[in-house]
Amino acid sequence: MQRFTFAFLIAVSVFAQPWPRPKPLPVVSGLEFPVDIQNAGDGSGRLFLVEQVGRIRVLQDGALLPVPFLDIRARVRAGGERGLLGLAFPPDFAAKRYFYVNYTEGRSAPDLRSVIARFRMSADDPNQADPSSEERILVVNQPFDNHNGGKLAFSPRDGQLYVGFGDGGSAGDPQGNGQNPNQLLGKMLRLDVESQPFPEPEIWALGLRNPWRFSFDRETGDLWIGDVGQNRLEEIDFQAADAGPGLNYGWSVMEASTCYRPGCRTDGLVLPVFEYGRNLGVSVTGGNVYRGSAYPERRGVYFLADYGTGRFWGVRRQDEGWASQELMLLDGVNVATFGEDENGELYFASHQGADATLFRIADRTPVTRAEFVLDPSDGQPGVPPGGEVYIYGWGIALEPQNTEVYFDGVAAEVVAVENQNGRELVVVRAPVELSDREVAQMVLVSGGERSAAVEVKIVPRPPA
């Protein structure tokens, strides 16, 4: 069946919109403890899926490639909060042909180290890295087995690599690393990895317990940090792109907005923009700000989830402060990480063993536009009565068995429903009753949710 490629262009709206109504759309399964989702920014449309055991897999054209992009299981110490934990592609990766990872090596603490390393691509395969090309940039001793952080990300503002390290582990920051300016643990670091020789890391922010997942807003450069709490509160920290280094997020003086140590002084400490207690979750997984085009009402909303309960929230600016809303609850799903594709569409991954799933964050309300309703005989917009019609959009392949299409209230025969790596397609046979009309109102129904009516052009079929 022939498919047509086109650009999705939807006007951006401001926050007069209601909160998103997300719904998970499975993309691929068969992953082994995925912990990071990245795109290379090279125009290939690929997603790179980091498995904690020490592999990076490639998702290309909706399929998980059988040969890993990188396999360093022999040198990675995995299990618990250890393993291959982060991946970052530098700006202009297509020309540079190298990337960075964060992993743990050794045994159990104190023989445990976090390694930031650069690997290069193989000479002849764009889906293969060279495991023998490792260049070590930073090695940090870990005093305990937990709170290793692990996330890596390049800032869209300064082009430098940021690394999140936990406080060293155990409980309660027994070594006081979070507030110690002479220790790299419990910090957000900035590394100028594009210089030679590699310079010493800069402490960008301090007072972090375990910044498991953080991200930059690709549009503004703002930094969002999901910092896992101790006993009471999980928190999301925020740093505006123009804030500069030295912000102190409080750990272990504070846990989120409350004193962790009795009688604490909060002068100079930065409070979270969002927090929640143990009645709602146990371990925050920081996400991303939505900057895609499929769902304009989501733009500027930061998505996050709780690893233990499967609750999802959205956070966004409101006037001079912040607003938040619980968005969905997925019982039994351990949300380990979020990520975005080259177009800014959001994904998350479950952490369910050797058959974990990657999901795209779709919407409960189907969305399409008239120019995405095509006559496959010529690839032009329009509906041929009695002929096949290709309808592209979002939120229309959530429940294929419950997808319906109506033209002026007349049901069309649904031929196929597909999810093509985030681009959704419904193929229908248009009712012959449309032959006496020039336009019709089309409505999509998926899982009981109806789209807004879209006016489509009726195009007569040429005589056979």
- pLDDT tens figures, 190-223: 999 988 888 899 999 999 999 999 999 999 999 9
Specify the pLDDT at position 70: 98
User: 3-state SS string over the chain?
Assistant: CCCCCCCCCCCCCCCCCCCCCEEEEEEEEEECCEEEEECCCCCCCCEEEEECCCEEEEEECCEECCCCCEECHHHCCCECCECEEEEECCCCHHHHCEEEEEEEEECCCCCEEEEEEEEEECCCCCCCEEEEEEEEEEEEECCCCCCCCCCEEECCCCCCEEEECCCCCCCCCCCCHHHCCCCCCCEEEEECCCCCCCCCCEEEEECCCCCCEEEECCCCCCEEEEECCCCCEEEEEEECCCCCCCEECCCCCEECCEECCCCCCCCCCCCCCEEEECCCCCCEECCCECCCCCCHHHCCCEEEEECCCCEEEEEEEECCEEEEEEEEECCCCCEEEEEECCCCCEEEEECCHHHEEEEEEEECCCECCHHHEEECCCCEECECCCCEEEEEEECCCCCHHHEEEEECCEECEEEEEEEECCEEEEEEECCHHHHHCCEEEEEEEECCEECCCEEEEECCCCCC
Specify the pLDDT at position 463: 53
Specify the pLDDT at position 461: 73
Identify the structural domains of the chain with CATH numbers, from first to last: 22-363 (2.120.10.30), 370-457 (2.60.40.10)
* Regions of the chain short of the pLDDT cut 70: 1-17, 398, 420-423, 462-464
Specify the pLDDT at position 448: 85
Task: Specify the pTM.
Answer: 0.86
Specify the pLDDT at position 15: 39
